[in-house]
């Protein structure tokens, strides 16, 4: 199944951003994740751990940007295996205030990279 987030602003990190991910249904242990790209409605992450999550698994993600903590629930929409590493595409379920705060932080980071 082809799946692509069509969004006007998606930030791809040169060095992946570290965060934590935890499955909610069923409840599981948190793992460290690397965020490869991030937008207001989703993210692409990479995990080194041996996770056996499937599409439609509900997860909670946590990460920091510019000294601000972000937490959101989301749903896994796709996954790919690369040897011992797995990548996941996650749709986030967030409020408008959360999305505005995230976009402002990502824009600030993008301006600092110029």
Whether the predicted model's global pTM rises above the 0.85 cut:
yes
Q: For the chain, which domains are there?
A: 10-112 (2.40.10.220)
Which has more confidence, 53 or 2?
Answer: 53
CA-atom Rg of the chain in angstroms: 14
Q: Which of 8, 5, 19, 36 is nearest to 103 (CA)?
A: 8
pLDDT at 8 (0 to 100):
63
Q: What pLDDT, on the 0 to 100 scale, is given for residue 2? A: 46
**Side-chain-facing half-sphere of 6: CA atoms under 13 Å:** 2
- Preceding omega of 26 cis (within 30 degrees of 0): yes
pLDDT tens for residues 57-88? 999 999 999 999 999 999 999 999 888 889 99
Report angle CA 29, 33, 36 to the nearest 5 degrees. 155
- The Cα 38–Cα 33 span in angstroms is 13
Give the C-alpha separation, 29 to 50, whole Å: 12
Among the listed residues 29, 67, 65, 73, the one whose alpha carbon sits nearest the alpha carbon of residue 47 = 29
Which tokens go with 42? 């989703």
């Amino acid at each position: 199944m082809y799946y692509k987030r069509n969004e006007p602003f998606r930030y791809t990190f040169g060095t992946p951003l570290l965060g934590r991910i935890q499955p909610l249904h069923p409840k599981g242990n948190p793992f460290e994740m690397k965020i490869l790209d991030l937008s207001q409605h989703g993210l692409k992450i990479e995990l080194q751990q041996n996770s056996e999550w499937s599409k439609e698994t509900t997860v909670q993600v946590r990460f920091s940007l510019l000294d601000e903590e972000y937490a959101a629930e989301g749903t896994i929409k796709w996954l790919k295996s690369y040897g011992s590493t797995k990548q996941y595409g996650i749709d986030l379920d967030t409020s408008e205030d959360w999305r505005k705060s995230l976009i402002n932080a990502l824009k600030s980071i993008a301006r600092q990279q110029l």
